[in-house]
């Protein structure tokens, strides 16, 4: 049995609770003047008045290509903290003039991530309003549900989302106003539908101007009052509204700023951060508040414009003016890069493609550099990159890696991932090529996202680190899945295992219940998923974890993702999927299993270039390749080898593979807004293919 010590990342106390090693038995204190989200930005503006707060890029050219609008982006223009605060005060004062709002009212933000999203949120918090968030990809049903259940009377919206609001205008009777971010994006037909339903449509600049003419006193909420009503995207059923207080997020901010936290050494005024993940998700919202509080410059971008090859960027062959244009990352040059693993998976695929085109000395130098970097990672060196003198041509390696690093600006000092497991190969590859730590985090909407983050000094793969200083972790025995704390004394396991319970001041107050829209399931969750143990309030996550000998949390399973096979064995779907990500053929995998069958299968959105490398696959469409027996056989062989290398049991390894010719995305409703699999919709869409192979 291994005893954890205080010089490890985390420490387990006598009650079996895991703490950050710098805060055993206690939680971080919130600094005076940082107790609410309003005080966080107000204090930052006073301290960093002349520093750039936010930046955005203008679209300089738009063009339709195969039915999709693509763009050429300009350079970043910036606004200082003093200027940003002036706009926040003006918009807050404008909100104070609206008759439908009073302190404690809920306003919904229904928009993609952009500068005006957080500006609107800070203005709302200035006046003591609750900010409700709805994913821009949620669609009519989800938007209607969230707007009605929240009881909101006003919505901030993207112009492009007016169409959805126009369609549901007669179904959201409590909504009295829609404030549109940019007047030029207003759709006349949708505006007419909203007005016909007696909903006012107000351009945000006009509201901001009104506030500038008539400044209003700020009326912020207290720390214990609700700051955010965040609707989870949900993989099934209606989204749940999570009630998050100012103190919940403020405690996370305090922990993130701690010198001993995973990001502590990177919290530097003037550093830059690229904001492109959905602000309707707690990870992005919490990160931005924490970085604003520290005097960072937040540059806003989009998932389709991060790099020059991103989906919405015009290519030179499509438009001559697109030559040499930069993606958001290269234009901003961020110091910290936060990404869902799916983003880094795409980075890995893209960089491998670049390297695959090299020949001769260049190829040999890159191969040597990668091998050296992997060995450096395995040795425990957290600095990233290859060794100083790898191979015969270190200069060539440096140049090749440098060109790749410039795709993300060339200044990234740390990568943080969350929302899903990060593949070990991806972690090693990105850390080697970009020359900086790549670390995983873990958390949920109910716990303000950044519950755990692996420390920069710790290369441990497949772990999410110790809890931050605003949290602690307890494992609850789950007998059905054979996960118990007593596994610590099992010589073949040697670790505590069980359902992950997260405790501390960042645990939300619960789920919103509207008496006019009763939901027995939500009521039950409020009673069952939040519990108090030894005076600490915990959220029961449903994830299965274990405490490693080094004091890290490792997520190994999820209750909902566990399927019992015909012979009684349990297959952890997410565990298999994490192994499948290492296959050269895999862009995005989903493991599927039936309890009436003795084996699982894999549905895979493939890497097209890898399929085309199969002998005989040249010059054929992706659709044809995905049903070609020879190609499928090659993929199945690779999947079998990869899963065996990952030490999966024979019953866990998928016996058959289905190749999917249309990538799953949030837009086609196969993924949530944060790129998690929506298993039921995927299963329904591919039911015929599943039935054809699952015999």
Shared domain check, 199 and 283: yes
Shared domain check, 96 and 245: yes
| Amino acid 499: pLDDT | 97
Burial of 171 (0-12, 13-18, 19+ CB in 10 A): middle
Asked if the structure places residue 466 within a domain, the reply is no
Asked if the structure places residue 327 within a domain, the reply is no
Selected residue with higher pLDDT from 356 and 95: 95
Asked if the structure places residue 318 within a domain, the reply is no
Q: Where are the beta strands (DSSP E) in 599-681?
A: 600-606, 656-659
Asked if the structure places residue 341 within a domain, the reply is yes
Cα–Cα dist 495/483, whole Å: 10
Residue with tokens 């983050």: 453
Shared domain check, 62 and 14: no
CATH code where residue 516 lies = 2.30.38.10
Count of alpha carbons within 13 angstroms of residue 681, beta-carbon side = 16
Task: Identify the domain containing residue 176 by its residue range.
Answer: 37-300
| Amino acid 1: pLDDT | 44
| pLDDT higher than 90, residue 640 | yes
Q: Chain-centre distance of CA 459, in angstroms?
A: 21
Residue 110 and residue 157 in contact, taking contact as beta carbons nearer than 8 Å: yes
3-state secondary structure 277-289: CCCCCHHHHHHHH
Cα–Cα dist 139/187, whole Å: 17
Asked if the structure places residue 468 within a domain, the reply is no
The DSSP letter of residue 326 is: P
Asked if the structure places residue 444 within a domain, the reply is no
Shared domain check, 608 and 527: no
Shared domain check, 545 and 621: no
Shared domain check, 258 and 342: no
Domain boundary among 558, 587, 621: 558
**pLDDT tens digits for 519-570?**
998 999 999 999 999 999 999 999 999 999 999 999 988 887 778 786 667 7
The DSSP letter of residue 493 is: T
CATH code where residue 132 lies = 3.40.50.12780
Shared domain check, 264 and 169: yes
Confidence of residue 234 (pLDDT cuts 50, 70, 90): low
Count of alpha carbons within 13 angstroms of residue 307, beta-carbon side = 15
For the chain, give the percent of residues with pLDDT over 70: 97
**pLDDT tens digits for 336-388?**
999 988 788 888 888 888 888 888 888 888 888 899 899 999 999 998 888 76
List the helix and strand counts (H, then E) for the chain. 21, 28
**pLDDT tens digits for 186-195?**
989 999 999 9
Confidence of residue 233 (pLDDT cuts 50, 70, 90): low
Domain boundary among 504, 526, 558: 558
Q: Chain-centre distance of CA 678, in angstroms?
A: 15
Shared domain check, 600 and 652: yes
Per the structure, how many domains does the chain have? 4
Per DSSP, helices labelled H in 198-259 are 204-213, 246-257
Residues 475-482, mean pLDDT to the nearest whole number:
89
Cα–Cα dist 103/378, whole Å: 54
Q: And the tokens for 285?
A: 């919202």
Shared domain check, 624 and 573: yes
Residues 668-673, mean pLDDT to the nearest whole number:
83
**pLDDT tens digits for 129-161?**
999 999 887 778 889 999 999 999 999 999 989
Asked if the structure places residue 406 within a domain, the reply is yes
Dihedral of CA atoms 472, 475, 476, 481 in degrees, nearest 10, equals 150
| pLDDT higher than 70, residue 36 | yes
Shared domain check, 569 and 551: no
Residue with tokens 């096979």: 565
| Amino acid 2: pLDDT | 46
Cα–Cα dist 90/105, whole Å: 19
Asked if the structure places residue 102 within a domain, the reply is yes
Shared domain check, 678 and 536: no
Query: Among 135-149, 469-483, 628-642, which stretch is predicted with the lowest mean pLDDT?
Result: 135-149
| pLDDT higher than 90, residue 421 | no
Closest to 498 in 3D by CA, of 471, 454, 538, 525: 538
Exposure string of 425-438, with b = 16+ CB inside 10 Å and e = fewer, is: bbbbbbbbbbbbbb
Domain boundary among 436, 459, 490: 436
Selected residue with higher pLDDT from 104 and 136: 104
Shared domain check, 199 and 74: yes
**pLDDT tens digits for 272-325?**
999 999 999 999 999 999 999 999 999 999 989 999 988 899 999 999 999 999
CATH code where residue 599 lies = 3.30.300.30
- Ramachandran angles phi, psi of 197, nearest 5°: -90, 15
């Amino acid at each position: 049995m291994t005893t954890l010590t205080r010089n490890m990342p985390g420490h387990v106390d006598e009650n079996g609770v895991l703490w950050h090693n710098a805060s055993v038995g206690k939680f971080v204190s919130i600094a005076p003047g940082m107790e609410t989200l309003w005080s966080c930005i107000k204090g930052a503006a006073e301290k960093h008045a002349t520093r750039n707060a936010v930046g955005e890029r203008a679209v300089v050219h738009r063009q339709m290509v195969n039915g999709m609008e693509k763009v050429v982006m300009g350079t970043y223009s910036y606004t200082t903290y003093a200027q940003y605060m002036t706009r926040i005060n003006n918009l807050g004062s404008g909100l104070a003039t609206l008759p439908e709002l009073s302190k404690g009212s809920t306003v919904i933000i229904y928009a993609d991530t952009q500068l005006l999203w957080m500006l609107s949120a800070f203005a709302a918090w200035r006046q003591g309003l609750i900010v409700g968030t709805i994913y821009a990809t949620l669609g009519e049903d989800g938007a209607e549900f969230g707007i009605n259940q929240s009881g909101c009377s006003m919505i901030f919206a993207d112009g492009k989302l007016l169409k959805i609001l126009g369609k549901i205008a007669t179904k959201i009777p409590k909504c009295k106003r829609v404030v549109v971010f940019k007047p030029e994006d207003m759709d006349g037909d949708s505006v007419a539908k909203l007005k016909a339903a007696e909903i006012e449509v107000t351009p945000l600049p006009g509201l901001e101007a009104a506030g500038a003419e008539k400044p209003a006193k700020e009326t912020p909420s207290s720390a214990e009052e609700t700051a955010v009503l965040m609707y989870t995207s949900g993989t099934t059923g209606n989204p749940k509204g999570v009630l998050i207080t100012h103190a919940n997020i403020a405690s996370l901010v305090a922990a993130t700023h701690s010198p001993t936290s995973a990001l502590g050494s990177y919290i530097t005024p003037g550093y830059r951060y690229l904001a492109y993940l959905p602000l309707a998700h707690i990870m992005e919202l919490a990160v931005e508040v924490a970085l604003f509080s520290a005097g960072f410059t937040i540059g806003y971008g989009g998932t389709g414009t991060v790099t020059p090859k991103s989906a919405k960027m015009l290519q030179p062959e499509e438009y001559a003016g697109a030559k040499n244009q930069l993606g958001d990352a290269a234009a901003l040059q961020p110091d910290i890069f936060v990404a869902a693993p799916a983003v880094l998976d795409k980075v890995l695929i893209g960089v491998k493609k670049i390297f695959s085109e090299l020949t001769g000395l260049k190829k040999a130098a890159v191969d040597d550099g990668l091998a050296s970097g992997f060995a450096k990672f395995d040795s425990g060196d957290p600095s990233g990159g290859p060794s100083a003198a790898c191979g015969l041509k270190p200069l060539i390696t440096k140049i090749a890696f440098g060109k790749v690093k410039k795709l993300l600006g060339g200044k990234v000092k740390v990568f943080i991932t969350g929302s899903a497991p990060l593949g070990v190969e991806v972690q090693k590859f990105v850390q080697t090529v970009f020359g900086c730590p790549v670390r995983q985090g873990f958390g949920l909407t109910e716990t303000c996202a950044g519950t755990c983050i692996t420390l920069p000094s710790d290369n441990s793969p497949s772990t999410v680190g110790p809890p931050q200083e605003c949290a602690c972790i307890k494992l609850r025995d789950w007998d059905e899945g054979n996960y118990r704390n007593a596994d610590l004394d099992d010589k073949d396991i040697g670790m505590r295992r069980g359902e992950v319970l997260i405790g501390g001041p960042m645990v939300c107050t619960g789920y919103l219940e509207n008496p006019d829209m009763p939901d027995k399931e939500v009521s039950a969750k409020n009673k069952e998923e939040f519990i108090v143990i030894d005076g600490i309030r915990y959220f029961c996550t449903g994830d299965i974890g274990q405490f490693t000998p080094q004091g890290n949390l490792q997520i190994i399973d999820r209750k909902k993702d566990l399927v019992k096979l015909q012979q009684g064995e349990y297959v952890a779907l997410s565990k298999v999927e994490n192994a499948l990500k290492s296959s050269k053929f895999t862009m995005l995998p989903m493991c599927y299993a039936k309890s009436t069958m003795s084996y699982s299968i894999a549905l895979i959105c493939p890497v097209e270039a890898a399929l085309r490398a199969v002998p005989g696959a040249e010059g054929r469409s992706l659709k044809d390749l995905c049903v070609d027996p020879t190609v499928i056989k090659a993929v199945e062989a690779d999947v079998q080898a990869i899963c065996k290398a990952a030490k999966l049991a024979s019953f866990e390894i998928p016996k058959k593979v289905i190749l999917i010719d249309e990538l799953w995305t949030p837009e086609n409703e196969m993924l949530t807004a944060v790129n998690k699999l929506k298993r039921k919709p995927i299963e329904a869409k591919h039911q015929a293919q599943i039935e054809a192979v699952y015999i």
